[in-house]
Amino acid sequence: MAFKFSALAVVLTISMAAALGQSPASKKAATQKAAQPMASDACDCTVFPIRPEACVRVCRKMSGTVVSMTDNEITLQTAADKANGTNQSFKLDPALQQKIKIEPGTNVTVTYNKSNKVAKSVTVK
């Protein structure tokens, strides 16, 4: 009985793939390609909703007050950092480095990649 069920499942899978214009081999290749891990540097954390799932795990937002800013780095102080006496620093994405100049004391939200702490966008609140 189990053999007949398995054979029927294979026939249905092949039939569905054919109906969608996919061969079983191309469907398998697409599944394997989707399962490959994505480099977290390749994630665009500024486009919502964030996809694929690997990027959801590394894209973050943080709001705070700008403590300092250089050509390639921004340093924020959040409410929690203020209580602890610490700051959060982020490298600026090369696309942002020449585009933004923000004065200390400005409230901002930084969208960044958690794996390398690179700010992908900085939005003034």
Q: Alpha-carbon distance 87 to 11, whole Å? A: 60
Q: Alpha-carbon distance 103 to 101, whole Å? A: 7
Verdict on whether the full-model pTM lies above 0.95: no
Q: What is the pLDDT of residue 40?
A: 65
- Give all domains of the chain, ordered by start, each with its CATH number: 2-54 (no CATH), 60-124 (2.40.50.140)
Nearest to 106 by CA among 73, 75, 72, 61: 75
How would you write the pLDDT of the chain (125 residues) with one tens digit per residue?
A: 444 444 434 333 444 444 445 554 544 444 444 434 456 677 888 887 888 888 888 999 999 999 999 989 999 999 999 889 899 999 999 988 878 889 999 999 999 999 899 999 999 98
